[in-house]
Amino acid sequence: MILSVDELCFLYKNREVLSKIAFSIDRGEVVAILGPNGVGKTTLLKCLNRILRPKSGVVNLDGEDLCQLDLMDIARRVGYVPQRVETGRLTAFDAVLLGRRPHIGWDVTGHDLRIVDAVFHRLSMDHLRLSYIDEMSGGELQKIAIARALVQEPKILLLDEPTSSLDLKNQVEILSTIVQVVRQHNIAAVMTMHDLNQAFRYADRFIFLKAGHIYAHGGREVVTADVIEEVYGLPVIIGEIAGVRCVIPEGGAGMPEKHAASPGEQKSDAYV
């Protein structure tokens, strides 16, 4: 076990956002945090690396209580990728190199530069090295943020909707790379996600949040149509395509029925 969370609670302006959150993660695991908008997914992720301080509870990483560590110590252990990336007049290479800051002593070493080089190559970003990040697309910025987290050589990666700005090809490449890094380096990754089908494909375990509580937690056995309907309020069918399980909204719920105009009925361009 690399991460354990016990009885974690978080309040925002006296409103309880998270209540009695408890789970654990083993090395080599990719965990998806799932649930509707506003349920507390991002808040939970930020509590795991002390961007937000919980009201109560314990977050233990590899035998150490994160609440007892200073921010630089946490940065040596936890790589965090936010939803929105800050920009500035930095080249991509310099922006990624900042991820080595928790490990750098008096000066940048050859070892630091080799790690950054390796990550650029691994994420197929060599062509972006000297580009300025304030001139990049949202998808390119997202890859820069993921690269910066990887060069930290963390024990655990926390990623807040890591594919939200990426096209389909880059989504597959980034999620595949995250899984490979987790397996090869025997670390762990926790990702908030909206796409249940991506979660099915890349995650080992799942945490479903509902009303600030964990509604279901476990492996693929907990991803059922009943759980999804209860958490999201939408009936679904779970099927399989080419050996991959997938989630499909049942009966096109919420979609208007098509009907032909009856004789004498005029079609209108109006929305209502």
The pLDDT tens digits of the residues spanning 168-219 come to 988 898 899 899 889 988 999 999 999 999 999 999 999 999 999 999 999 9
Specify the pLDDT at position 257.
Answer: 55
CA 89 and chain centroid, separation: 26
More confident residue, 155 or 139: 155
Q: At what angle do helices 110-122 and 138-151 cross, to 10 degrees?
A: 140
Q: In whole angstroms, give the CA distance from residue 254 to residue 64.
A: 47
Q: CB of 42 within 8 A of CB of 84?
A: no
Show the domains of the chain with their CATH numbers. 3-233 (3.40.50.300)
The tokens describing 145, both together, are 């943020």
Q: How far is CA 177 from the centre of its chain?
A: 13
**What percent of the chain stands above pLDDT 90?**
58
User: Helices (DSSP H) in the chain: which residue ranges?
Assistant: 41-48, 71-77, 92-97, 110-122, 138-151, 168-185, 196-202, 225-232
- Residue given tokens 């937690």 in the structure block: 217
Work out the mean pLDDT of the chain and round it to a whole number: 88
DSSP state, residue 262: P
Order of strands across the sheet that contains 15-25: 15-25, 3-12, 56-61, 64-65
Q: What are phi and psi of 172, to 5 degrees?
A: -65, -45
Exposed, middle or buried: residue 205 (CB in 10 Å: 0-12, 13-18, 19+)?
buried
For tokens 């349920």, name the residue. 39
| pLDDT over threshold 50, residue 253 | no
Q: According to the model, what pLDDT value does residue 272 have?
A: 40
- DSSP string for 81-100: E-SS----S-BHHHHHHGGG
What confidence score (pLDDT) does residue 197 get? 92
**Residue among 139, 142, 194, 192 at smallest CA distance from 167:** 139
Residue 133: pLDDT above 70? yes
246 three-class SS:
strand
The whole-number pLDDT of residue 266 equals 55
